Amino acid sequence: MAEELVQIQGSKAEKYASLIPQIKALVSGESDWIANLANVSAALKESFGFFWVGFYLRKENELVLGPFQGPIACTRIQKGKGVCGSSWEQKTTLIVPNVDEFPGHIACSSLSKSEIVVPLIQNNEVIGVLDVDSDQLNDFDAIDERYLNELCQFLVSL
């Protein structure tokens, strides 16, 4: 297990291509789900400087705040509410270029401008979501979607 990330200069895709194997190595030897999600949050925030990175975990009929990096956050989110709840309901990754234009957006911080949410799907059930916020408009694209989906698929396979 590595406890230090090797960060490279380059395109977003090159950074993800370097980071994802490091994250996989970091969490592969650890059986504790919360510890792994905490390290994944830290690795993504440290590598990309995102405004907020974290996980919401499904507990019965709501998403509850899990490990994260960034300012304080909303604690509970209902299914279908906001970007996270909508991603859960639709079982799909959502990229929001401008959160102020997303119907029903839950504003945990007025500094958040764009967002990507990736559902963690296990046995066809959403068990949580990875939520990444930026303080820049239109900061997420198909590259983020590809690599963050790969990461989330790996995490639910542990």
For 24-34, how does the pLDDT look when each residue is reduced to its tens digit (9 = 90+)? 999 998 999 99
Residue reference for tokens 């990875």 = 130
**Mean pLDDT, residues 117-142 taken together:** 97
CA distance 56 to 19: 22
- Write down the mean pLDDT value for the chain: 94
The model's pLDDT over 36-78, given as tens digits with 9 standing for 90+, comes to 999 999 999 999 999 999 999 999 999 999 999 999 999 999 9
CA–CA separation, 27 and 38 (whole Å): 10
The pLDDT assigned to 107 comes to: 77
- Does position 108 have pLDDT exceeding 90, yes or no? no
- 12-157, what's its fold? Beta-Lactamase (3.30.450)
H helices present in the chain, as ranges? 12-28, 33-48, 82-90, 142-157
Q: Give the dihedral sign, CA 129/133/138/141.
A: negative
